[in-house]
């Protein structure tokens, strides 16, 4: 089953590698600015970008870390990241093909870890976090950034439904409380967290994943039928654009 889900993720993201490297949503943002300040403060010797996607975290960390390892299960995505790193003159970025739940690194191999917009694709959430803790030195910082569930079931059900229709490799956007509990279970200490909403431009959001037309129609149907409270929370616009909840959690390996 694990290999099957990995193949779904690879099929979804491999052909879209260039789109994610060039994605404005992924290449910019207040979260990247916050991460840049944190990495600059620590100046890691060897940082891990867990679930690198378009590589934007790796490019950022490469300015402050002696070495950066970008890990992802998509071979095509990693090839795009390696090419982009070379174009940017970042010789300290290396790529490794691996799922978050099965990292091929020794214990305590890294002194910094960042994971951005990746965990909601993991088949085993706790397993991925457990691996993150294993490969970090004791006391090392870890930054987790991801779309998150607002919490209440009314909003959560709507979010998970539209996410899955848009991207069949989606597993779950976890709530902040679910994140906190999971991090505690696997051996992290949470030092701070912050949440905000980010506008998703619906035509761009669906085009980036090449969402099938029938699925796009289904998402729009769910939005049209949503309750007043749901429409208000996500600020759903006439063209389907909406606000997505995002969280940034700072933790340390206990």
pLDDT at residue 22, as a whole number: 56
Contact 74, 9 (CB under 8 A): yes
Taking the mean position of all CA atoms in its chain, how far away is CA 125? 12
d(CA 165, CA 178): 23
pLDDT at residue 100, as a whole number: 97
pTM above 0.75, yes or no: yes
Residue 47, both tokens: 């940082």
Taking the mean position of all CA atoms in its chain, how far away is CA 183? 16
Q: What is the pLDDT along the chain (254 residues), one digit of tens a residue?
A: 444 566 666 666 555 555 555 555 556 689 999 999 999 999 999 999 999 999 999 999 999 999 999 999 999 999 999 999 999 999 999 999 999 999 999 999 999 999 999 999 999 999 999 999 999 999 999 999 999 999 999 999 999 999 999 999 999 999 999 999 999 999 999 999 999 999 999 999 999 999 999 999 999 999 999 999 999 999 999 999 999 999 999 999 99
pLDDT at residue 17, as a whole number: 52
Q: How far is CA 229 from CA 57, 159, 219, 232, 237, in A?
A: 35, 13, 17, 5, 14
Domain 5-148+172-199+245-253 has CATH 3.40.50.150: yes
Residue 64, both tokens: 């402050």
CB proximity list for 7: less than 8 A, separation 6 or greater: none
d(CA 115, CA 71): 10
pLDDT at residue 196, as a whole number: 97
pLDDT at residue 29, as a whole number: 87
pLDDT at residue 82, as a whole number: 96
| Strand, helix or coil for residue 27 | helix
CB proximity list for 241: less than 8 A, separation 6 or greater: 199, 200, 201, 202, 205
Domain chopping of the chain, boundaries: 5-148+172-199+245-253
Using CA of residue 107, residue 112, residue 118, residue 124, what is the dihedral sign? positive
Q: Which helix (H) or strand (E) holds 143?
A: strand 141-147
Burial of 142 (0-12, 13-18, 19+ CB in 10 A): buried
| Strand, helix or coil for residue 5 | helix
Strands, sheet with 242-253, edge to edge from the N-terminal-most edge strand: 93-97, 67-72, 46-50, 112-116, 141-147, 242-253, 188-200
Helix, strand, coil percent values for the chain (each to nearest 5): 50, 20, 30
d(CA 250, CA 114): 9
Measured in Å, how far apart are the chain's first and last C-alpha atoms?
Answer: 31
């Amino acid at each position: 089953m694990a290999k099957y889900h990995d193949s779904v993720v690879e099929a979804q993201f491999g052909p879209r590698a260039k789109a994610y490297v060039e994605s404005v949503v992924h290449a910019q943002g207040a979260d990247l600015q916050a991460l840049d300040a944190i990495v600059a403060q620590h100046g890691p010797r060897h940082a891990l970008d867990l679930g690198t996607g378009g590589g934007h975290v790796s490019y950022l960390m490469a300015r402050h870390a002696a070495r950066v390892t970008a890990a992802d299960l998509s071979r095509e995505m990693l090839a795009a990241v390696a090419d982009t790193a070379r174009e940017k003159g970042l010789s300290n970025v290396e790529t490794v093909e691996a799922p978050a739940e099965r990292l091929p690194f020794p214990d305590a191999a890294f002194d910094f870890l960042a994971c951005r917009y990746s965990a909601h694709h993991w088949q085993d959430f706790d397993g991925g976090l457990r691996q993150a803790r294993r490969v970090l030195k004791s006391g090392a910082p870890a930054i987790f950034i991801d779309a998150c569930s607002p919490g209440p079931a009314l909003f959560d059900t709507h979010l998970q439904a539209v996410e899955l229709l848009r991207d069949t490799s989606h597993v779950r956007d976890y709530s902040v409380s679910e994140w906190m509990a999971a991090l505690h279970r696997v051996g992290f200490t949470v030092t701070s967290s912050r949440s905000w909403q980010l506008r998703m431009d619906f035509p761009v959001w669906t085009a980036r994943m090449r969402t099938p037309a029938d699925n796009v129609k289904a998402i729009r149907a769910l939005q049209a039928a949503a309750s007043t409270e749901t429409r208000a929370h996500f600020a759903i616009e006439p063209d389907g654009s909406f606000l997505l909840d995002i969280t940034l959690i700072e933790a340390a390996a206990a």
